[in-house]
Chains A and B, each alone.
Chain A
Amino acid sequence: MNRLGCVNALVLGALLGPCFGAGANDFTINLKVQSGGREQTAISGQSAAPPTITAKAEEVVWVQWSVANGATGAALSDITLHVFMDRGDARAAAPKPGLKALYESALIQDFEAGVKSSGEFRIPMPEAGTYLVRVETIGAAKKLGKEVAAVMQVSVP
């Protein structure tokens, strides 16, 4: 299947998501953001509203994430871990990074049961504004019935 086909499959998977769902709870994304001695954590599937952390302009923000498939989780192959930080509202449904996103990364990995992955970045906040950090899967819906994401708001007054 070409990449465009995968994207279409993702859309279809999102539509069919409620029909599946087994194993999704075994696959967890943990997102932690630290700045100026403050710390906030977001865990996929655990909060209705994204948590918020406050930072100052030019202050360095440290973003860390870990992704784990539980010991009894379904084996997942070719999962793209997509991470981005951009201006925007974390409460938006399925936000996407713009061309001027502060940070964006993607890596493709297999997640057999018990496999973990992690990443981090440090970046100075450029200016006052409302930013979001999002860590999400692309391709997990085929097995889990839905994509998995953790998201957080970063407020720079």
Chain B
Amino acid sequence: MRRAAFSLLLVLLPCVGRAEHFDIKLTATAPDGSSKEAFADETPPIGGLNPRPVLRAKAGDTIAFQFIMTNVYEHESARNAGVRFYIVRERQLGQKAVPSLENLTAEGSFTFNLKPKAKIGGKERIVISQPGVYLLRVESQRTQREHEHFAAIDLEIQ
């Protein structure tokens, strides 16, 4: 039933319609129930067009995040397309440049043939034990279009 619920979530979640190629909805939730959402953005400019929301939590808290990406194109496919997500420490909130990805706190990716209207969803629960500022980001890769899309949230761990 839970599995069915997640599958249903993928299919039934309303399209958010903020980007021309990919719809993305990224949500991060702290143990106190506070939650932030981010939607599809693109570069250039560096860091994207939208200001990043900030989720505040404590070191040792379990942060739950979830993303749903939808290929908006009805007819175009892309072989070996990808989706990548990660959490990485950054210097400051709202930092424009993506930090070096050498020491990721968490990460994951998918490589697949992207079909029209395809949906990709993921969720993860992670404990961040060290205080600091972190970037949570999910992004499309190798979609054979003029630019990729992403959604991002800053995590301020106190």
Tell me the chain A residues, 80-117 only, with Cβ under 8 Å from chain B: 80-82, 96-110, 115, 117
User: Judging by beta carbons under 8 Å apart, are A102 and B118 in contact?
Assistant: no
| Chain B contact residues, majority secondary structure | strand
User: Judging by beta carbons under 8 Å apart, are B125 and A102 in contact?
Assistant: yes
**Is B98 close to A, CB under 8 A?**
no
**Is B108 close to A, CB under 8 A?**
yes
User: Judging by beta carbons under 8 Å apart, are A106 and B7 in contact?
Assistant: yes
User: Judging by beta carbons under 8 Å apart, are A120 and B108 in contact?
Assistant: yes
User: Judging by beta carbons under 8 Å apart, are A106 and B121 in contact?
Assistant: yes
How many Cβ-Cβ contacts under 8 Å join chain A to chain B? 102
Contact with A along B1-41 (1 / 0, CB 8 A): 11110111011100000000000000000000000000000
**Is A124 close to B, CB under 8 A?**
yes
Query: How many residues of B sit at the interface, in one of the four size bands?
Result: 20 to 34
Partner of B118, one of A4, A58, A100, A109: A109
User: Judging by beta carbons under 8 Å apart, are A126 and B127 in contact?
Assistant: yes
User: Judging by beta carbons under 8 Å apart, are B3 and A97 in contact?
Assistant: yes
User: Judging by beta carbons under 8 Å apart, are B122 and A105 in contact?
Assistant: yes
Tell me the chain A residues, 53-96 only, with Cβ under 8 Å from chain B: 58, 80-82, 96
Please list the residues of chain B having a beta carbon within 8 angstroms of any beta carbon in chain A: 1-4, 6-8, 10-12, 62, 104, 106-113, 115, 118-127, 129
